[in-house]
């Protein structure tokens, strides 16, 4: 039982049994837009493990997050409602707003500093 609980925690703070307002998406597998609800939260899996990566996250070409060598820098407007779970490469946004709808792009650099293909996804926020 304890082992099971531990795995849930390692899964990145996004619960296996989701409350109705929590939306879970995978930027590498989903083909349709990720559709969280206004006021809800959303977990987006970007990559398996970000520990050794450098990442720059953009929404509609505006950068809002930078992760490098364990340091996470999130712009003020997102700070209070954005979390990044490094070990599971998962981005979580709470209190989703309608204006979060848009195109997202994550530039990623591998441990040797080589640029890998961008991670892209879109959010389509739904009203309640
Ligand atoms: C973030 O939270 C802090 C403390 O609760 C608050 O003072 C600040 O105004 C908030 N910032 C934004 C951008 O909402
Ligand atoms: C992520 O990778 C780091 C370094 O390789 C490792 O120490 C850590 O345990 C990994 N995290 C997970 C959740 O697999």
Q: Look over the chain and give the mean of its residue pLDDT values, rounded to a whole number.
A: 89
DSSP string for residues in 94-122: -S--GGG-EEEEEEEE-TTS-EEEEEEEE
Nearest CA to ligand 2 atom 5: 51
Instruction: Check pLDDT > 90 for residue 5.
Output: no
Say if strands 62-68 and 54-59 run parallel, antiparallel, or are unpaired: antiparallel
**For residue 25, is pLDDT > 50?**
yes
Taking the domains of the chain in order of start, what are their residue ranges? 19-123
pTM to 2 decimals? 0.83
For residue 9, name the pLDDT band (cuts at 50, 70, 90): very low
Q: Is the CB of 75 under 6 A from ligand 1?
A: no
Check pLDDT > 80 for residue 39.
Answer: yes
Q: What pLDDT is recorded for position 6? A: 46
Query: Model confidence over 40-96: pLDDT tens digits?
Result: 999 999 999 999 999 999 999 999 999 999 999 999 999 999 999 999 999 999 999
How far is Cα 53 from Cα 55, in angstroms, rounded to an integer?
Answer: 6
Instruction: Please tell me if the CB atom of residue 13 comes closer than 6 angstroms to any atom of ligand 2.
Output: no
Q: How far apart are CA 94 and CA 61, in angstroms?
A: 21
Nearest protein Cα to ligand 2, atom 9: 87
Record: fold of 19-123 = Immunoglobulin-like (2.60.40)
The better pLDDT of the pair 112, 128 is held by: 112
């Amino acid at each position: 039982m304890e082992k099971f609980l531990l795995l849930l925690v390692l899964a990145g703070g996004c619960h296996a049994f989701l409350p109705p307002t929590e939306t879970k998406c995978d930027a590498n597998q989903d083909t349709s837009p990720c559709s969280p609800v206004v006021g809800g939260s959303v977990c987006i899996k970007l990559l398996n493990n970000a520990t050794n990566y450098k990442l720059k996250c953009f929404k509609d070409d505006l950068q809002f997050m930078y992760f490098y060598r364990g340091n996470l820098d999130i712009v003020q407007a997102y700070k209070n409602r954005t979390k990044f779970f490094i070990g599971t490469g998962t981005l979580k946004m709470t209190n989703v707003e309608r204006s979060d709808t848009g195109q997202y792009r994550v530039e990623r650099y591998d441990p040797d500093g080589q640029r890998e293909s961008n991670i892209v996804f879109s959010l389509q926020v739904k009203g309640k």
